[in-house]
Structure 1
Amino acid sequence: MKVLFIPGNSPYPIFSHAPLASAARNAGHQVMMGGIDWVLPNIASVGLPAVQISPVSMEEVSAFMGAMPDNPADQLKAVGRVYAEIAVDSLERLLALADHWRPDVVVGGGMFYTAPLLAHHLGIPSVRLEWDRIDSRTYDPGAEPVLAPVLAELGLDKVPDPDLWLDVCPPSLRPDDAVPAKPMRWVPGNPQKPLEPWMYTKGERPRVYITAGTRLFSGEGLRDMARSIDRLGAEVVVGAPENVAAELRGELPGVHVGWVPLDVLAPTCDVIIHHGGGGTDMTSLNAGVPQLIAHPEYPTAATRQVVDFGAALLVESGGHEEVNAACEQLLNDPSYRERAQSVSKEMAALPPAHEIVADLERLVAARG
């Protein structure tokens, strides 16, 4: 069986799909993963064959992020639009790939526009694998005007539904209006590096990890937050891509700064502070660590759910005093860790990726 994965247009979707892609490959199937030019090194970093579906570069992604509208609703439309544009642009390249390496099934990510269009062209089953707990349907209004002409040419009135929908959201945090889907256990799929003892050991002070995700092009906000949290007497670790980390190390003496395998570090943390990114959220829950979502990039229902559940706090506005106060609350009240650990146990009980490979095999066999 040949399986083509098309997760999404930034590093995190790559990492979220890596466990299932690796499980399919370990089961003896042929696997390729497609991505824009920017993320091809990320695909290779998790040991998967990488194929370019679009020449969009890191510089272009940075320019798009810098021009993002301030209004949250407009932000969602802008992201949906660019995902749809890349889906339309990549279709010709993917069909050319299929002339030489024809997939038997295609697995797409949250903004699922590329995968079902290709599957429809080839007459093969498609699978939708969500990246995290965020409901990616909120991006559809921005995508629909871009996709409409292509769908009309194909005689379709909407993007085809997947043959299999996989959801990694823990049951306690799944919204009431969620689409019926097969649950799958989420596990970290991030790249590794040679470990240093501090990464997997816990010192005497509480440890606070601060990150703004993989789509980060400036370290100013991380620097200021790290200096503020340091006043709490905690051990601070700052996670950032190397291009940002290099500028921060000289400004943050005594702070570990750089790319750290978060699956290794997370269990040693007492609080994880982040921007609302799905990958950090899922890694925190997987490790049973309380979260502080500070000034989220995209306010989402998923953020509100984990806060309402009691496993996180949210600081939408305000400065470092508000962030520090929330961090102290998480450090001093054990109920947040207890709630996070209850979700971690739920996640561990869901069907693992290697069991889902059998579902892919059945889809291909049924299609003949």
Structure 2
Amino acid sequence: MRILFIPGNSPSPIFSHASLATAARNRGHEVIVGGIEWVLPEIAAIGLAPVKIADISEADVAEFMSTAPADPVEQAKAVGRVYAEIALQSLDPLLRMAEKWRPDIVVGGSMFYCAPLLAHRLGVPSVRVEWDRVDAAIYAPGAAEVLPPLLTEWGLDEVPAPDLWVDICPPSLRPTVDPDRQAMRWLPTNPQRPLEPWMYAKGERPRVYITAGARLFSGESLSHMARSVSDLGVEVVIGAPERVAADLRKELPDIQVGWVPLDVLAPTCDIILHHGGGVTDMTALHAGVPQVIVNQDIAAEAMQRLADHGAAVMLGADEQNAEEIAGACARVLEDPRYRQRARALSAEMAELPPPAEIVALMEKLAG
């Protein structure tokens, strides 16, 4: 069986879909992963075969990030427009590819509208795989500004529904129970590097891992978070892309800064302090590590459910100062209930069907 994955336009959905794509390949299926120009090296770095579907570079992404609206609702609408525009750009290249390598099934991320549209056009089943816990419906208003002309041309009233909808959210954190969604155990994947002992072995001090995600083009927020916890007696590790890590190393010479394989590091951490990023959140959940969340914007509702569950502290827009961040981390370190709740969620995730079982369902779909 030939399976085409089209996860999304940043490294995070690529990494989130990787365990399912790898499971499919391990069962003997042919797997290709489509992505914009920026993410092609990330796809290759995790051992999957990339194909370019749109000429969107890192510079293009940086420009969008720098001009995106600050208001979460307007930001989500802008993201929805971008994903819909990528769908329009990528459909012709994908259809040309299908003339020579026709997939038997198409797997797409929650906002990558080109996946169900391509599957519809080819007459093959489509699978939607959520890559984080955020409800992608918030992006629909933006997409609705872009997609209608194509939908009308193709005789559609809306983007086709998937034949299989895969959800990776732990059941305790789901806002509602949807019987039409198939649960799957989420497993972390990311590019690797030669490991050093500090990455997999915990030191004497509590460890706080700080990140602001892969789509980061300034180290200012990371520096602020690191300085906020400097008086707590903790070991700090900052995960950052190299484009911002070099300057941070000069500014914070006593802190480990750079790309760290989080699947290896996370189990050694006492807190993961971050921006509400989907894969960071899921990796922390998988490892059973409590979180402190700042600057969450679009992800606020999903992150608040985690905080309400007792496995995280989420800081509001007026609580982003150093004192509030330090206080939140101190509470998590001092109160064992945060760790207990995080570990319970990790155990819950471990009981969900593994990716190999989802591949078996995909095989039945494709006949």
TM-score by length of 2: 0.98
Displacement of 1:296 after TM fit? 1.4
Cα deviation for residue 179 of structure 1 reads 6.9
Contact residue 4 and residue 106 of structure 2 kept, 8 A: yes
Instruction: Tell me which amino acid in the other structure corresponds to 1:320.
Output: A
- 1:99 corresponds to 2:99: yes
Runs of 4+ in 1 over 3 A off after TM superposition: none
Determine the structure 1 residue equivalent to 2:258: 258
Q: Deviations over 1:78-134 (max 9, x none)?
A: 000000000011000000000110000000001041101101110000000000111
What amino acid sits opposite 1:203 in the alignment?
G
Alpha-carbon distance between aligned partners in 1 of 2:133 and 2:179, rounded to the nearest angstrom = 12
Which residue does the alignment assign to 2:131? 131
Asked if 1:225 corresponds to 2:225, the answer is yes
CA contact (8 A) 1:277 1:297 kept: no
| Shift of residue 299, structure 1, vs aligned partner | 4.0
Aligned partners of 1:7 and 1:13 also within 8 Å: yes
Pairwise mapping of residues 1-368 of structure 1 onto structure 2 (< 5 A)?
Answer: 1-176=1-176, 178=178, 180-316=180-316, 317-318=318-319, 319-365=321-367
Letter of the 2:195 partner, please give it: L
Give how far 1:180 is off: 2.7
Q: Is the 8 A contact 2:37 2:56 kept in 1?
A: yes
Percentage of pairs with the same residue: 62
The secondary structure found in structure 1 opposite 2:244 is helix
- RMSD between aligned alpha carbons? 1.0
Aligned length: 365
Listed one character per residue, the Cα deviations across residues 176-206 of structure 1 (whole Å, up to 9, x for unaligned) are 2657300000000111111000001111110
SS at match of 2:145: helix
Offset of residue 312 of structure 1:
0.3
SS at match of 1:19: helix
* Residue type at the aligned position of 1:326: A
CA contact (8 A) 1:112 1:128 kept: no
Extract unaligned runs of 5+ from structure 2. Answer: none
TM-score by length of 1: 0.98
| Offset at residue 243 of structure 1 (A) | 1.3
Instruction: Tell me the distance in 1 between the aligned counterparts of 2:15 and 2:251.
Output: 30
Deviations 1:256-311 (A, max 9, x none): 10111111101110010000011011000110100000121424321111010000
Q: Which amino acid aligns with 1:138?
A: I
- Distance in 2 between residues matched to 1:329 and 1:180, nearest whole Å: 39
* Structure 1 residues 242 and 209: alpha-carbon distance in aligned structure 2, compared to 1, 3 A threshold: same
Deviation at 1:224, TM superposition (A): 2.3
List runs of 5+ in structure 1 lacking aligned partners.
none
